[in-house]
Amino acid sequence: MPLASPAAVRKQIQSALTDPIYLILGEEEVEKSALASEFADLVDEGLRAFNVERIHVGELTTGDKLLDGVASIVASARTLPMMSPRRVVIVFQAETLLAPKRESDAADRALKELESLITMPDPQTTLVLVASAIDRRKSLCKLLLKQATIVECGAPDDLAAAERWVRERVAKAGAEIEPAGARVMAALAGFPERAQNDGRTGDVKRLRGEVDRLLIYALGQKMITADDARAIAGPAAIQDHWAMTNAVERGQAGAALRQLALMLESGTAPEMILGQLGWMVRSKFPDIAPAAARGAVESLFRTDVDLKRSAGDPRVLLERLVVELCAGTRNPTRGRSGAW
């Protein structure tokens, strides 16, 4: 049972080196549908009408319907590609096939035909089965788990996936959204630019709610703009309250400034942010940037005084401090004369 992440599968599609059978599982319908649809990229656009078939089997509730449906899938999967090295067959709601609601002779024959296809798939066809869940105790499911590449497709795990989610959701409602608008919505729900190794991700429940609000706000529009997205955007969610200091420690000013903005927009007090930065300077700088430690302390002190005296916009003062601290960690051998 080889396992693959959605990102790994997309790389296989880009390289045109796909496995014979994929089983895409999960409750997040938009992401599953988006990933399954990307398999069409294996075929040149002008030839997809002949070589890409999408089959919905959710209505196959009786044995006879199931038998006819499976026969259609098998015939499609066994058909030779036309003027293309590969054929793609995508089956949606495949859980209906794998666990028929009613047992009958016709249903048994259908399952045997499907078992034969799974055991010996056509080498020139990529078969993609999309299901919400399967009963792993069933013999056919056990066979499929052994033969297919399994893709657990849950909620989006990074900013790019969340943007695709937004575009798909908007398209399903009969509209389009500008790329910048999709990015605003994804960032609003706190999705990181890259998937995190510890499994942390954005808030898909909030993303769904915000997109629903956006669709109501832009009701009747065929194109939703980034300005529309910003108009309904509230403060973005914070997934990691230490992401800013971690970015400063790595010298990544851009990432640190984005995290600073998230903290301020979510209502975090400037004094608390300054306290975090002060802790980071005291505990980290002596090891990672000893030459810049003195300048960092002086910058902290100056910012503290300016905040207390209201000597400027707190956001601007903190942004200046973050940039200065990042300069110190990015160039750890440079002291005050070089970094500040």
- DSSP class per residue in 127-196: EEEEES---TTSHHHHHHHHHSEEEE--S--SHHHHHHHHHHHHHHTT-EE-HHHHHHHHHHTT--SS--
Q: Is residue 175 one of the residues assigned to a domain? A: yes
pTM tops 0.75: no
pLDDT band at 336 (very low <50, low <70, confident <90, very high): very low
Residues 62 and 127 in one domain: yes
Is 315 part of a structural domain of the chain?
A: yes
State the CATH number of the domain containing residue 79: 3.40.50.300
Identify the domain boundary among 100, 129, 152: 152
CA proximity to 339, closest of 295, 288, 300: 295
Question: Are 323 and 253 spatial neighbours (Cβ–Cβ below 8 Å)?
Answer: yes
248 and 226 part of one domain: no
Identify whether residues 7 and 73 lie together within a single domain.
Answer: yes
Return the top range by mean pLDDT from 29-33, 193-197, 325-329: 325-329
Mean pLDDT of 45-74: 86
pLDDT of 307 above 70: yes
Render pLDDT for 90-107 as a digit per residue (tens, 0 to 9). Answer: 999 898 888 766 667 877
d(CA 262, CA 190): 9
- pLDDT(121) > 80: yes
DSSP state of 80: P
Q: Which helix (H) or strand (E) holds 94?
A: none
- What are the pLDDT digits (tens) for 127-142? 999 998 788 888 888 9
Domain shared by 93 and 140, yes or no: yes
Model confidence pLDDT, tens digit, residues 184-227: 888 888 777 766 555 556 777 778 888 888 888 888 899 999 98
What is the structure's pLDDT at 223? 94
- The least confident of 119-123, 194-198, 262-266, 332-336 is 332-336
Query: Does residue 1 contact residue 145 with C-beta atoms inside 8 Å?
Result: yes
Say yes or no to pLDDT of 111 above 70.
yes
Q: Do 313 and 223 fall into the same domain?
A: no
Picking from 152, 173, 208, the residue at the C-terminal end of a domain is 152
Whole-angstrom distance, CA of residue 336 vs CA of residue 282: 16
Q: Alpha-carbon distance 86 to 52, whole Å? A: 9
List residues bridging with 331 in a β-sheet: none
The reported pLDDT for the residue numbered 237 is 56
Complete DSSP assignment for 177-202: E-HHHHHHHHHHTT--SS--TT----
User: Would you say residue 71 has pLDDT above 70?
Assistant: yes
44 with 113, same domain: the answer is yes
| 68: containing domain | 3-152
Q: Tell whether 41 and 60 lie within a shared domain.
A: yes
The residue among 232, 263, 279 that closes a domain is 232
The answer to whether residue 238 is domain-embedded is: no
| Cβ–Cβ < 8 Å for 36, 131 | no
Beta strands 149-152 and 3-4, pairing class = parallel
Backbone angles phi, psi at 80, to 5 degrees: -70, 140
pLDDT band at 232 (very low <50, low <70, confident <90, very high): confident
Q: Which H or E run contains 295?
A: helix 293-308
Band the pLDDT of 339: cuts 50, 70, 90.
very low
Going by their DSSP bridges, the two strands 3-4 and 21-25 should be labelled as unpaired
**Percentage of the chain exceeding pLDDT 90:** 36
Q: What is the pairing mode between strands 176-177 and 3-4?
A: unpaired
**DSSP-based three-state secondary structure for 233:** coil
pLDDT band at 337 (very low <50, low <70, confident <90, very high): very low
